[in-house]
Amino acid sequence: MVLLDLVKIDLKKWLWIISIPTLLVLLTLGIFQAGEPAGFSAITGTVLLTLTLLPSMLMRLGFFKENPYLRWLVKYRKDLGIISGTWLLSHALISALFFFKRDESILNQLLEPPLQPVWIMIPILALMLITSNKASERKLGRQWRNLHSLVWLLPGLMVYHGNLAIANFEKEDFAPAIIILAVVILVAIYEFIKTRSYKRVLLILIGFITAVVLWTINNPG
């Protein structure tokens, strides 16, 4: 009965009520170099991104079409996208706070293999957040949807970033995020096989090709 009442909740309001104080605490921990706020923000942002992308894919494929919880998540898809972008950009900021404390220059650190995908991911996230409003949607017209489809470039780059973060920075807490992203990618591939709708899979593939290019550059041998 409690679960059934869940669909009556204004998810948009509660996402912000929970996220704002939590992110402020995580930023404070980042400033004082305490705990593992980067890992928590990465996993939370990834889960929210998955809740943005996965339910609508499942419904398009005909899975759980009448499930009230899935329909509830699809209803708040745009709000979940905004909040996931906020968490992922906060993750970047929290991580940067740790890098600023190192003796090595921030530019050299940003050129390290695990952080190279960030140069692509942060502009995409920021651009989507900036344009996640009715005014931008009206002004951009049909191009608004094309712009926001760039989100599908992220899964491959995030998997690459997460794996190297585990290897180079010993961030084992990133592992659950990688598994979640793998599920999203597999469902997108299955959707392509079933529907021949190629746009999402093509963008995922471009993201993976970019990751492979970065890997090749960093490991020429």
Calculate what percentage of the chain has a pLDDT beyond 90.
60
Q: What is the DSSP letter of 113?
A: G
Of residues 39 and 128, the one with the higher pLDDT is: 128
Per-residue pLDDT tens over the stretch 53-69: 999 999 988 888 888 88
State residue 190's pLDDT score.
92
Residues with Cβ within 8 Å of 66's Cβ and at least 6 positions away in sequence, in order, are none
State residue 97's pLDDT score.
86
Residue 12: pLDDT band with limits 50, 70, 90: very high
What are the boundaries of each domain within the chain? 2-218
Q: Which long-range contacts (CB under 8 A, 24 or more apart) does 95-100 make?
A: 95/30, 95/38, 97/27, 97/30, 97/31, 97/33, 98/30, 98/33, 98/38
Per-residue pLDDT tens over the stretch 126-148: 999 999 999 999 999 989 999 99
Give the mean model confidence (pLDDT) for residues 106-116.
85
State residue 1's pLDDT score.
46
Task: Please state, rounded to an integer, the average pLDDT across all residues of the chain.
Answer: 89
